Structure 1
Amino acid sequence: MTIQWFPGHMTSARKKAAETMEFADVVIEVLDARLPEASRNPMIEELRKHRQRPCLKLLNKSDLADPAATQAWLDYYKRQPDVKAVAISCKKPGEVARIPSLAQTLAPHRDSNVKPLRLMIMGIPNVGKSTLLNALVKRKVAAVGDQPAVTKQQQRMDLGPRLSIVDTPGLMWPRIELASDGLMLAASHAVGPNAYIDEEVGVYLAGLLLQRYPECLEARYGLKAVETDAVGVVETVARKRGCIIKGRAGELDLEKASLILLNDYRNGTLGRISLETPETRQLLLQAAAAAKSEAEGGEGDGRQGPGSA
């Protein structure tokens, strides 16, 4: 079953975003550098293309992502029209300071007191939009939390006579088509915890890590990746961290162990990890399109990815 999460306030937030975009010059789309396409809301692209607005894609949390994968994503996005892409950490002021000048290159006609540059920050929940805004204005003007959907209202800030910024609530889309996207989003804490089961997401993450980053599992938990499977990873974490269900004769608490694994990934304790690359994304979309075509006679999942026309 695919994870779905679309809180009620997001319907009105989407409508408001569509109205606001009419008055924006550049859309700043904040993505999670560890899963750029899975964390890309297709509604944002639809809105900005309808308004013909250029986009500065920020691959945030790049300090947590695999540098090689991040570079591959930058190369991919830079081939798209009306798009610039940069990898940053919104917690590093020096990197954030580059953003206005980068955005300016996408709207060179907006650079005066009469025509100030108007930026609109968008993205899914918990990718760092509010942290970005606070860093840009150099003070706390937006609530920041480790839970998704902390921001629920738009707010506008003027950064001098030549620059204004609108921060928007995190927006999901009504239906996540690919099951793996939902799992990656849940693993990265971009959807509410009531939308998924920690153990299921933990086992998914363990399987991905076994395939792509076994050395991270070995270094953190002292397990031999070649001798186990995804469930075995979670069981090893449970034993290593003493996750035992009381009164169950030593039964392992796999839910608690899964949360430990997820948190170690989320905060970077496991190392610099990316959940997808342009290559794995393309393979995923091809497999999904083939499965859908076989089952329904359709033509894919409706979301473009690397290699799409």
Structure 2
Amino acid sequence: MNYQWYPGHMTKARRMMQENIKLIDLIIEVVDARIPLSSRNPDIDELGKNKARMILLNKSDLADERENEKWQEYFTQKGFHVVKMNAKSGAGVKNVLPVIMEACKEKIERDKQRGIKNRPIRAMVVGIPNVGKSTFINAFAGKACAKTGNKPGVTKGKQWIRINKNVELLDTPGILWPKFEDQSVGAKLAMIGSMNDQILNLEELSLELLGYLHKCYEGILAQRYELEESEDRLAMLSAVAKNRNCLKKGNELDYAKASNILLEEFRNGKIGRITLEQA
């Protein structure tokens, strides 16, 4: 399957980010802790040259905690300030403000030397669709400021949000990039729900997920679906269909329904805490 999704509004969003980059002191990039590299837009590094940088490993409650620790160390060594969190529950959100102040301490010091007092830090919040940017902003602000949704592409325009006298956030629409050089990146993005399911072959995607889980988290599928794990991914999908009673007329297995269940349970963490790429 060829993974690609780049709606027209994303080109406009990228242009808007380029225009606003000069106004900001810090880029806060929200990534999905299950795929910390694949959920980063490579364009952001180019856009954010010479800016303070921060990475929020969101949905870390759904990811393998051992891998969360490794990814935190990986990004820290690359010069990013990093916070693990779960924007939905609010876990870890209180750690963000002190890290913002730490990330911008040089800017605060420069302002002091120039006699500029109380100018708030302006941070641009960026990230691909459905990583939880708006949910984070609302949790951070303590009120519903940004539109949220479990479908990619909810935020369409920019909006400034005042957090307190020290910090203002610029919310931006989620943008992917025009072409995935590596199709495995597209597959991982599709697995976590950053693309529109309606344009995907979900049966093919679920087979890829089954193969990965068997290889890297052996035993987790057997435990969840009472199946015999093997290299035969179609046999495993059949077993998921039987376990979840996914049947069409004439007792024929309903692979589409089984695929939907598998992907939904993976995305919601019901299969277990899983990271799709290792540091």
Q: Normalising TM by the smaller chain, what interval?
A: over 0.9
- Aligned pairs for 1:111-150 within 5 A: 111=108, 113-150=117-154
Tell me the SS of whatever aligns to 1:57: strand
1:58-101 deviation digits (Å, cap 9, x = unpaired): 110000000111111111111113x1122111124351122121
Contact 2:122 2:168 survives alignment (8 Å): yes
Say yes or no: does 1:80 pair with 2:78. Answer: yes
Deviation at 1:236, TM superposition (A): 0.7
RMSD: 1.4
C-alpha separation in 2, matches of 1:275 and 1:6: 23
The answer for the alignment partner of 1:294 in structure 2 is none
For 1:229 and 1:154, how far apart are their aligned partners in 2? Answer: 47
Residue in 1 that maps onto 2:92? 95
Cα deviation digits, residues 264-295 of structure 1 (max 9, x gap): 100000010000012xxxxxxxxxxxxxxxxx
Q: Distance in 2 between matches of 1:54 and 1:178?
A: 28
Q: Which residue of 1 aligns with 2:246?
A: 243
The CA deviation at 1:258 is 0.7
Which residue identity is paired with 2:21? M
CA distance in 2, matches of 1:98, 1:86: 7
How far apart are 1:215 and its partner, in Å? 2.0
Where do residues 112-191 of structure 1 align in structure 2 (5 Å cutoff)? 113-191=117-195
2:209 matched to which residue of 1? 205
Partner Cα separation in structure 1 for residue 139 and residue 159 of structure 2: 15
Deviation at 1:2, TM superposition (A): 2.7
Measured after TM superposition, the shift of residue 114 of structure 1 is 3.6
Q: Is contact 2:246-2:254 (8 Å) kept?
A: yes
Give the letter aligned to residue 41 of structure 1: N
Flag as ranges the 4+ runs of structure 1 deviating above 2 A: 91-94, 109-115
Aligned match of 2:277:
276
Contact preservation (8 Å) 2:32, 2:59: yes
- Deviation per residue, 1:240-270 (Å, 9 max, x gap): 1111222xx3221111111100011000000
Q: Matches of 2:234 and 2:48 in 1, distance apart?
A: 42
Question: Matched residues in 1 for 2:91 and 2:185: separation?
Answer: 31
Using the size of structure 2 for normalisation, the TM-score is 0.93
- Whole-angstrom CA distance in 2 between matches of 1:137 and 1:272: 28
Instruction: For 2:163, give the aligned amino acid.
Output: L
| Runs of at least 5 residues in structure 1 that lack an aligned partner in the other structure | 279-309
The match for 2:113 is none
1:238 CA drift (Å): 0.7
Equivalent of 2:52, from 44, 49, 54?
54
Moved more, 102-111 or 236-245: 102-111
* 1:172-197 superposed Cα distances (whole Å, 9 cap, x missing partner): 00001111111111110001123311
State TM-score, norm by structure 1: 0.85
Q: Which amino acid aligns with 1:231?
A: L
How many angstroms does 1:142 deviate by?
1.5
> Paired residue for 2:234?
231
How far apart are the structure 2 equivalents of 1:168 and 1:27?
11
- Quick one: distance in 1 between partners of 2:259 and 2:164? 47
Secondary structure in structure 2 of the residue aligned to 1:147: coil
Q: Distance in 2 between matches of 1:56 and 1:188?
A: 22
Q: Does residue 216 in structure 1 map to residue 220 in structure 2? A: yes
Instruction: Check the 8 A contact 2:83/2:92 in 1, yes or no.
Output: no
Name the aligned partner's letter for residue 254 of structure 1. Y
Aligned residues: 272
Please give the alpha-carbon distance, in whole angstroms, between the structure 2 residues aligned to 1:220 and 1:69: 21
Report the Cα distance in structure 2 between the residues aligned to 1:18 and 1:65, rounded to whole angstroms. 32
The unaligned stretches of length 5 or more in structure 2 are 109-115
Cross-structure match for 2:10? 10
* CA shift in 2, pair 1:97/1:110, >3 Å: farther
